[in-house]
Each structure stands twice: as C-alpha cells, then as structure tokens.
Structure 1
Amino acid sequence: MNPVMIVTDSSAYLPPDLVATHPIRVIPLTLNWDGQTYRDGVDIQATEFYNRLSTSSTLPSTSQIPPGDFENIIKELLVVDYDVLLLPISSGISGSYQSAASVVNNFPADRVVLLDTKLVSMALSFQVLAAARAAAAGANLTECRQVAQKAYSQIGVYFTVDTLKYLAAGGRINSAKRLLGAALNIKPILEIRDGKIELVSSVISRRKAIESMLRLVEEGIAERSPVRISVFHAQARETAEELIGIAQARFSPIECILSEVSPVVGSHTGPGTLAIAYQVGV
C-alpha cells in the first residue's frame, strides 16, 4: 500500500508548522496587481498584502491554478510512490477545481482522487488536516477520501467584513451589492454554504457581528464533542485574539488555530475580515 499525500492550495492558508508536520503539499494561487504576478503566500505574505491593499487605488485580481501545476505535482508524487488526494478550494469560489479535474483523468484512478471540498480558508484546512492525519496514521487513499468527505459535514465557518466593496467588486456574493445601499456601518454575517459565499444576516456593529458568529458556531456545534476551533483574520489580529480567547472559554476546544486570510482570498473580502471556523466529532 502506498502512503497518501494530501494536496491543497494556498487559499487554506495553513500555518507552516502544520504543513511541515503532516503529509500535505500546497499549490499557490496567483494574484495579479498593477502588472505584477505574485504567488499567494510565496511572493507576497498576508501582512504586506493588507498593508498595501488598505492604501491602494487599484484592486488586485486573482487567477485559478493552471492545470499544469496540478499535473506537475501529481507526477512528482507518483514517481516517489505516493497516492494523491487533491483537496482544492471550492468549485463555487474558484476555477481551480476545474483545472484539477481537467488533468486527473490522465492518471490512474486508484492513485489520484479529486474532491470538490466546497470549502475555503481554515474551514478547508480542517478538512485537509482530517485527511492528512488519517494518511499519517496509515490510511489508504480510499480511506483518506472517506475521511475528507465525512469531515465536510462536521465543519462550519462564518465571517464578517469591514466593507462590502471587495465582495461586490469581485462578484463573489450577489447580496453584497444589495447591502451596499444600507447603513454605512452595517456588518454582514456570511457563511460558506454548499461551496458558495452566502449572507446569513446583518448587524449594526462589529461587536454584534462577533456575538452573532459565536451564537451560530454554538448552534452548529450543538453540544457535540470534541470541538476544534480556528479564528482567521485580515489585518485584525487584536480582535481575532480576543475572539479566539472567547471561543476557547466557551467551547473548550481540543485544538485552537489562529491564522490569517490568504492574500488571494483577502482580495475578495478586504482588510478587517474576521472569521471563525469549527469542526466537531473528530
């Protein structure tokens, strides 16, 4: 039986120590800005990106992972006798899944498997980590795929943004345009639902947004255990640290991860984005 390598992309923005200690490989997405191309998390890091975005008169665009990048890493891993489980960003958010789908049929179906994760950011990371932990424990490719599929039903994620202009400009959520005409300080609560960004509700302050997200997470957990929590942010570390402290006290998680929103994802949500993801039952 071959060992299994989990391949994801930089939208997950897994902390480097977790990537280094698990059978995980990360392919960077691409950011295009003022005539320059940057590999997400390689050529440009989160802090640098958000500092520039907050003062820039231009907005970056993003590009899906080209098929050749998936093909190259699959070939590289097969040569050293790994089976490969591909877990890219949701097909409802990026075309990277379609890029992967265009090449997987070039490889043996019992060696390479692709799943539409329907997730992004640290919610995707939870799914990736679940599969990677199974792989590290000796699970085969079929078993790792089953773990990833089961993990999807155990994960939830909610987030709020400081301004709706990035979501509206990127066309990632139709309701963003509708909300732009509302009060200037409105804070939407959004979730990843069936692989797409959807509006849950809106409130009139950052504090109420945090309270609403915690309530939604509590409802999602529904007294199940164990619980894993991640808080991730875009240039909002102080608030993120406060949120993760509240979540630790409230939900007693066995794992707590503080991370950032990757530049590619942040180009569609903007500075000030604050999010919380949970996983239960594993």
Structure 2
Amino acid sequence: MEKIKIITDSTADLPEDIIKRYDIEVLPLLINFGEKSYRDGIDINIHTLLGKMEKSNVFPITAQVNPQIFLECYNSYIKQGYKIVSIHLSSKMSGTYQSACIAKEMLDTEDITVIDSLNVTSGLGLQVIKAAKLKEAGFGIKEIESGVGEISSHIRSTLFFNSLDNLVKGGRLPKASGIIGNILGIKIIVAVENGEMAVIDKVRGSKRALRSMIEYIDKKGIKKGEIAVLLHVGETDILNTLREDLKYRKIDFIECEVGCTVGVHSGTGACGVFFVESY
C-alpha cells in the first residue's frame, strides 16, 4: 500500500483532533500586522488576533505560503517514501496554490498531486477530510484526487456576519455590499461560489437571516454519507439557534472555529454551514 501524506494550509480551519487523527500536515499562511509577521495558528491564535485588531488602526495583511516552504515540506516527505496529496485554498483568493505548483515542478515528480479546492475555510476542510478518509480506506493518490474532485463543485455554504466591514477592507466583497450590510437591520448572507465570496441573499433582521440559511440548506440537501461543518468565530445572534436546528434535524456535523487568516476577513461574530449538496 502506498505511503500517502495529506498536506493542506491553515485556511482549512480544521479542528486539532481531525488533524491528529488523520496525520495531516498543515502549512501556515502569514499574518502581517504592521512590521510584525505571525504564522497562522502557530505564533498567533484567532482570539489574540481579534484582540489586536480591536485595539489597532492597522488592518493586517495575509500572505501566501511561499514556494520554498512547500519545496522543503514536499522534499522531506518524498525522501521518506511518501506520495503527496496537497490541497489548498482557492487560487482566486491567494497565490498559495500556485506556490505549491511551483514546488512540485521544481521537484519534477509525479508523486505529488496538487489540488485547487476553489474554496476556503471549511469548504477546503471538507475536501481535506474527504482525502484523508480515502487515504485511510487504502486508495492511491490518483483515486484520492478523483474522489476530492467529485465533491469539490458540490460544496455549498451559507454564511452570516455581524459586520461585512473586514470583508470589504480585505477585498473579499465589493464596497457596495458593505454599505448595504451596514443599513439598519439588513443582514447579508454570503457564500463561496466559483472560488470567490458572493452575496446570496439580503434579508431584514437576524431571524430572517437564520430562516434564509436553513431554507438554503434544505433546498440544496446534504449528500448522504457526507458531514457538514458548523463554522463560527465570536458571538452572533443566530449561532446557538443554528446549532440546535442542525441537531434537531439530525444533520451529522462537526464544529470548527475560524482561524487567523480567515478571521482577518470575517472579524468577530460570524457563523455558517458548509456542506456537500445532494447530487
């Protein structure tokens, strides 16, 4: 049986127990805060980051994993006889995927498969978990690549933010969406679509926002045998109700907390669900 290593980056926002269970290598993106740089999840955690952001007028900048880091990581596992499946955040949001491709080309080997998730946070995380489960079942890197590709275009999300200010500052949403989101009582529901953030609904009030999210999940359906992810950071008006609703409807889900790279853009007070739709 092939020795396979699953590698991803810190934007997958996977809980520590899953990382340890499947022995996943997680490469950190950088958070540049003024003149200081921090490795996401290693030198700084989300709660420290949000605290610093509240006290500072400086908006942090996130930076991709560079090719040299990938090269060193890949080389160390190749030397140990591993084949590698490397899955990363959307190429439309970061150069991390391109860095991984450059490192693979430098090593000139077919023992590395690099996958553009066209997603981020738990949308990427679901693909990494899929890869890890296929590895555990004894599949090779090509079968794992195929299995991840099968669900990739069917991953859906519905996300609620207390404020869209950071998404606009970080260039993830157009300024007009932020202006609408700041109108009294208007709540904007966001999703990852085609590798980028997109507005999928506008409603008035938190109760209607919750209803919109649940209706979206019901409309798409969750594929049998696949888990959902309840993602959150900080407190929102709807997190607890959303959690209880998922439990009530017996949806199989895990909870993940937003990491630092994604947290720069979400700010404090965001939650949502990522899932594989029925197809």
Is 1:187 equivalent to 2:187 in the alignment?
Answer: yes
Which residue pairs with 1:226 in the alignment? Answer: 225
Superposed, 1:42-191 pairs within 5 Å as: 42-174=42-174, 176-181=175-180, 183-191=183-191
Aligned twin of 2:17: 17
How do 1:203-242 and structure 2 match up within 5 A? 203-221=203-221, 224-236=223-235, 239-242=238-241
Between the two proteins, the alignment pairs up a number of residues equal to: 278
Does structure 2 retain, via aligned residues, the 8 Å contact 1:83–1:112? yes
**Which whole-Å CA distance do the structure 2 matches of 1:52 and 1:257 have between them?**
28
Given that residues 236 and 269 in structure 2 are in contact (C-alpha distance below 8 angstroms), is that contact kept between their aligned partners in structure 1? no
CA deviations on 1:152-207 (whole Å, 9 max, x unpaired) are 13321121211121111111122x43441561432211111111111111112223
Deviations 1:40-93 (A, max 9, x none): 111111222223323432211111111111111101111111111110111111
5+ unaligned residues in a row in structure 1: which ranges?
none
Unaligned runs of 5+ in 2: none
Percent of aligned pairs with the same amino acid: 26
Alpha-carbon spacing, 1:135–1:238, altered in 2? closer, same or farther (3 Å): farther
Q: Secondary structure at the match of 1:54?
A: helix
**8 A Cα contact 2:84 2:113, kept in partner:** yes
Whether the 8 Å contact between 1:232 and 1:240 is mirrored in structure 2 is no
Distance 1:146 1:29 in 2: 26
Specify which of 266, 270, 274 is matched with residue 269 of structure 1.
266
- Structure 2 distance, partners of 1:39, 1:2, is 31
Check conservation: 1:4, 1:23, Cα contact below 8 A: no
Between the aligned partners of 1:2 and 1:178, the Cα distance in structure 2 is: 48
Task: Give the C-alpha shift of residue 129 in structure 1.
Answer: 0.4
1:249-282 CA distance string (max 9 Å, x none): 22x233x211111111111121111121112569
4+ runs deviating over 6 angstroms: none
Q: Which deviations, in whole Å up to 9, do the C-alpha atoms of 1:205-263 show, x marking residues without a partner?
A: 223222211111111116x423422111121278434322211222x233x21111111
Distance verdict in 2 for CA 1:280–1:81, change over 3 Å: farther
